[in-house]
Amino acid sequence: MSGREFFTTRTVAEALAGFRPAHRTAVEAVALSEALHRVPAEDIPSPHALPGFVKSTVDGFAVRAADTYGASDGLPSYLDLLGAVRMGAAPTVSVRPGGCVAMPTGGVLPEGADAVVMVEFTAETMPGTIEVTRPVAPGGGLVRADDDVATGAPLVPGGRPLRAPDLGLLAAAGVVTVSVHTRPRVVIISTGDEVVPPDTATLAAGQVRDATASALAGLVLEAGGEPVLAGIVSDEPGALKDKLTQVLPGADLVVVSAGSSVGARDETAGAVAAVGEVWCHGLAIKPGKPTLLAECGGVPVIGLPGNPLSALVVFGQIGIPVLWRLSGCEIPPPRPSTRALLSRDLASAAGRLDVVQVRVRDGVAEPLFGPSALLSVLTRADGYVVVPEPATGLDGGHDVDVTLYA
Ligand SMILES: Nc1nc2c(c(=O)[nH]1)N[C@H]1C(S)=C(S)[C@@H](COP(=O)(O)OP(=O)(O)OC[C@H]3O[C@@H](n4cnc5c(N)ncnc54)[C@H](O)[C@@H]3O)O[C@H]1N2
Ligand code: MOO
ipTM: 0.95
Domain with CATH 3.40.980.10 in the chain: 10-25+183-326
How distant is the alpha carbon of residue 392 from its chain centre? Answer: 31
Query: How much is the average pLDDT of 353-377?
Result: 95
- pLDDT value of position 395: 96
- Number of helices (H) and strands (E), helices first, in the chain? 8, 29
Task: Please give the share of the chain, as a percent, with pLDDT higher than 70.
Answer: 97
174: nearest Cα among 346, 46, 54: 46
Reply yes or no on whether the pLDDT at 264 is more than 70: no
Strands 129-132 and 122-126: antiparallel
| Ligand 1 atom 32, closest CA | 306
Reply yes or no on whether the pLDDT at 370 is more than 90: no
Alpha-helix residue ranges (DSSP H) falling in 305-349: 308-314, 320-326
Q: Is residue 257 within 6 Å of ligand 2 at its C-beta?
A: no
Give Dmax over CA atoms of the chain in angstroms: 100
Query: How much is the average pLDDT of 222-239?
Result: 96
- CB-side neighbour CA atoms (13 Å) of 127: 0
How distant is the alpha carbon of residue 393 from its chain centre? Answer: 30
| Ligand 2 atom 4, closest CA | 287
- Using the mean position of ligand 2's atoms as its centre, give its distance from the Cα of residue 196 in Å: 21
| Whether the bond into 138 is cis, omega within 30 of 0 | no
- Using the mean position of ligand 1's atoms as its centre, give its distance from the Cα of residue 67 in Å: 80
Which atom of ligand 2 lies at the shortest distance from residue 310's CA? 3
Residue type, 300: P
To test ligand 1's pocket by mutation, which of 307, 313, 314 has the most ligand atoms within 8 angstroms of CB?
Answer: 307
Domain with CATH 3.90.105.10 in the chain: 27-48+149-181
Task: Please give the share of the chain, as a percent, with pLDDT higher than 90.
Answer: 92
Q: What is the pLDDT of residues 99-138, one digit of tens each?
A: 999 999 999 999 999 999 999 999 999 999 999 999 999 9
Q: Angle at the Cα of 278 (from 274 to 281), degrees rounded to 5?
A: 120
Helix axes 268-275 and 239-247, enclosed angle (nearest 10): 50
Query: How much is the average pLDDT of 224-233?
Result: 98
- pLDDT value of position 262: 72
Which atom of ligand 2 lies at the shortest distance from residue 314's CA? 3
Q: Is residue 282 within 6 Å of ligand 1 at its C-beta?
A: no
Query: How much is the average pLDDT of 31-47?
Result: 97
- pLDDT value of position 2: 38
Mean pLDDT of the chain: 95
* CATH number, domain 55-143: 2.170.190.11
3 state DSSP class of 272: helix
Nearest ligand atom owner, CA of 312: 2
Query: How much is the average pLDDT of 369-384?
Result: 94
| Whether the bond into 237 is cis, omega within 30 of 0 | no
Q: What is the pLDDT of residues 276-296, one digit of tens each?
A: 999 999 999 999 999 999 999
**Dist CA 323 CA 299 (whole Å):** 11
**Dist CA 112 CA 94 (whole Å):** 6
- pLDDT value of position 3: 40
The architecture (CATH level 2) of 10-25+183-326 comes to 3-Layer(aba) Sandwich (3.40)
Nearest ligand atom owner, CA of 375: 1
Nearest ligand atom owner, CA of 286: 2
- Using the mean position of ligand 2's atoms as its centre, give its distance from the Cα of residue 290 in Å: 7
Q: What is the pTM of this model?
A: 0.90
Taking residue 226's Cβ as centre, other Cβ atoms within 10 Å add up to 16
Class at the top of the CATH hierarchy for domain 337-404: mainly beta
| Ligand 2 atom 3, closest CA | 288
Reply yes or no on whether the pLDDT at 7 is more than 80: no
DSSP string, 340-369: EEE-S-EE--TT-EEEEEEEEETTEEEE--
**Dist CA 232 CA 25 (whole Å):** 26
- Rg of the chain in Å (alpha carbons): 31
124: nearest Cα among 64, 63, 80: 80
Q: Is residue 40 within 6 Å of ligand 1 at its C-beta?
A: no
* CATH number, domain 27-48+149-181: 3.90.105.10
